[in-house]
A and B are shown apart, each in its own frame.
Chain A
Amino acid sequence: MIETAFTKYHPVVNFIFFITAIVMTVVIFHPAALAVSLAASVASAVKFSGKKAVKYFFAFPFFVMILSMILNPLFVHKGLTVLFYIGESPVTVEAFAYGACTAMMVGAVIMWSYCYTQIMTSDRFMAVFGKIAPSTSLVFSMILRFLPRARRQAGKIASAQELLFVPPEEVAAEIEAGAANAADEADGQTSREQTKTTKIKKGMRVMSVLTTWALENSIDTADSMRARGYGLAGRTMYRKYRARPADIICGSLILALLAASVWAKASGVWDFYCYPEIEFGGRPVLPACILLAAMYAVPLVIEVWEDIKWTRSLSKI
């Protein structure tokens, strides 16, 4: 979880932004729009998480993009402008262009999702949906509490069982070798298979103990919930986040920019076709592109603006 200028805005604003960004990236299939989205997503990720984001970019989406750029022209032979032939199959400019656009789209979506996971922690997510589905969001919260606990408990059970009786090391080695030999002679099983079955058996035992543990302890949890009045009529929902005027302004701005881009898309500004020949809609793209870029850049602008304000207030001290 990180704390930045953008997380100071209400989770609903954060959520609207990310959904808008991801949907618009997928919907507007146009090299300029995709390039803007990719650039903004990478820049935002770096602004939020610094070096970690750069590492992530080169570890995962970068490779997916390269793959897409190489594989599409190799396997798709549509398109009229042939560059060269590999054996019998033509490699076309159009397939290249399509591969490049898909690469940018996938890269941008992955990077926006990365930003999303950095900003939208479980409690911010719940703040968005708590009001719409309060009981579901409580269950969600309980699951989030349970999972890490169960994982840790499983580890503890396994080690506690193992340590109940630890034979001395040398003796243990002898026994194991002996047992394996005997098994070998008996039915040709290898010692590796032998340890595999014991491993599975051990795993099953841990799972069975873990299940008992979860059921037994959930009785306590249920008691604790009822003791604090769970199940009474008229449950309310505490909201940790309050909407400020800035949230409303920022949210409306995102929605207005979204509306403008949707209108641009609907009126054909963003028309773009790869096959059979690369073809643009014919209308000037620049104004629409600026509007779209403005939308993608909302968190960046907020971050930079905050930085400026911060240095200014520092200089006053």
Chain B
Amino acid sequence: MDQITVKDLNFTYPGRDRKALENVSMSIGSGEFVCLCGRTGSGKTTLLRSLKPILAPHGERTGSIRLLGKDMDELTDREAAARIGYVMQNPDNQIVTDKVWHELAFGLENIGMDPEAIRVRVAEMATFFGIHNWFGRDTDSLSGGQKQMLNLAAVMAMQPDVLLLDEPTASLDPVAAVDFLSTVSRISREIGTTIIIIEHRLDEVLPRADRVIVMDEGKIYADGMPAEVGLDLIEKEMPMGRAMPAPLRAYAGCLKEAGGDAVAADEAAGKTLKDEAIGDAPLDVAAGRRWLADAMDGEASSSGKDMTSQETGAAKPGREETEIEIKDIWMRYERNSADVLKGLSLTVKKGEILAIVGGNGAGKSTLMNVIAGAARPYRGKVVRGRRPVGALAQNPQLVFTEDTLEEDLKVASGSEEEMQEIVKKLQLEDLLASHPFDLSGGEQQRAALAKVMLAGAEVLLLDEPTKGLDEGYKEIVENMLKEFTAGGGTVIVTTHDVDFCARTAGRCAMLFDGQITGEGPAGRFFRGNAFYTTAANRMSRGITDSLFAEEIIDAVSEKRKEL
């Protein structure tokens, strides 16, 4: 039975001309795991919120929505609250109470459940989600990943039939994000809850999803099996295609190289090859490896080694000036706490993009604070050049002070032209009149980047600059940073985004346990890692040793030419 049926839904926000949703129709069956994706501003969140009556946006709506076999208006408040669960993006804002156990019980208290039954339910949920170890703690003392897991558990405690998630991992680090998403997929498999998730981490979600719905400018652009939709998007060179998992992109690219003609011809003949292609399409690294090994005849090639020489923006040692030099620094926050940095040394060269990678709690943010001068090591030396430094905190919200973005940027910048230029580059024109806090996560990130660049620093310290950005904007940011360094600026980024690192950074340094454990030109650095590297590299390790899907495509087509 269909649990959600949307028919010809149109929606316009008050005071806007453009429809946020246009003729949206879909039906989702019981127990399906659906991934809803699309670029920023494509109407994903509007659609998802429309499915939760109490959160449905206000505006002009036509068409019909049927939920749980009833018309949306017939659903009682109680049913809507308990049977449709909704998890939002920001883990902190959703938590209501100060204790973990109270948060779990909150929804159940609201629907007037008997305290004894709540006791059982809370215990059950805590065990399923692995919360029992921190059951008695203050919600404030939890990590971001734990907070979001608590939000999920608190919603699931009400035993909803439908679970809606709006970019739940956008502010989590990769490890916590994978943990969260595998719990979501476990809910789907073990409990059978119908799930609709908006997610940017398609690498992680698509292999687990039954179905993917792609939105574009308020309309449903595609709806189907992940592999099928993905191949279609890549083939038609839609912007969303670039966000598809690397194995799928490599596969699709090779398919195209091998002869789009063959596919087209076959399409006329009855689509068999295409169907087969969809069946074979790899969505995750394991399937990707199998396919690639097949395509390359399992032969380990040496082509990877040739590529190491032509690094992207590789450092030419010897000639550059040193921007910042850090010598053997030791740092701790309190007299009796543990050392966060333990004898760390690092040299930053003028005009380079240096990426500092490493897990949570490795000391990345502390190192950034030391470089910016906000934290002082108790031993060691930091030598900084005579150039101003600008640092961007991980949470972009922190830097805004004014009521509109335009005023905010004016506070930061000297000249009007400079501002216009950066605004244009980061595509912020339409947002200038908005309050900075009203922007979405990705928009805030871009606006904050504009602000720090306008402040006029020549050395930029960026903490997770690509957080919440979709592929298109990521590229814009990448180009801006490259331009900035070409103009003589120096950039230091900390990031979890391996692909961004591999594409943009000249040099990568791995921070672990308070020390730099490895560093080198980005290409060599990632090719040397087995786990902490791009999906394309993991997929092609020992076969083509490529860093990006494009390199795999080239390697495969070269191989085909040889044959």
Contacts and interface: CB of A to CB of B under 8 A. Distances in A.
B530 interface: no
Contacts of B400: 209
A94 to B, nearest CB: 49
Contacts, number: 178
Interface in B30-89: 52, 54-55, 77-78, 81-82, 85-86, 88
Interface stretch (B17-25, B90-98, B326-334, B351-359): B90-98
B398 A156 contact: yes
B139 A145 contact: yes
Interface stretch (A39-47, A222-230, A264-272, A296-304): A222-230
B421 interface: no
Contacts of A231: 110
A227 to B, nearest CB: 5
A262 to B, nearest CB: 34
A168 B384 contact: yes
A145 B388 contact: no
Contacts of A227: 52, 54-55, 81, 85-86, 155
A223 B110 CA distance: 14
Contacts of B412: 164-165
Interface stretch (A80-88, A211-219, A250-258): A211-219
Nearest to A242: B119
A208 B401 contact: yes
A159 B374 contact: yes
Interface of A is mostly: helix
B387 A168 contact: yes
Interface in A121-141: 122-123, 138, 141
A166 B393 CA distance: 13
Interface residues of B, number: 71
B417 to A, nearest CB: 19
Q: Which of B54, B392, B461 has the most CB of A within 10 A?
A: B54
B398 A157 contact: yes
Contact of A229 (B82, B92, B101, B398): B82
Nearest to A171: B386
A168 B96 contact: no
B452 A228 contact: no
B94 A224 contact: yes
Contacts of B452: 164-165
A235 B115 contact: no
Nearest to B90: A220
A216 B106 CA distance: 22
Nearest to B107: A228
Contact of B96 (A145, A205, A212, A233): A145
Contacts of B82: 229
Which 7 residue pairs across A and B have the least CB separation, nearest first? A229-B81, A220-B93, A234-B112, A160-B398, A228-B107, A238-B105, A163-B391
9 contacts: A123-B101, A123-B102, A144-B98, A163-B372, A163-B390, A164-B390, A164-B455, A166-B390, A238-B115
Interface of A: 122-123, 138, 141-142, 144-145, 148-149, 156-157, 159-171, 205, 208-209, 212-213, 216-218, 220-221, 223-240
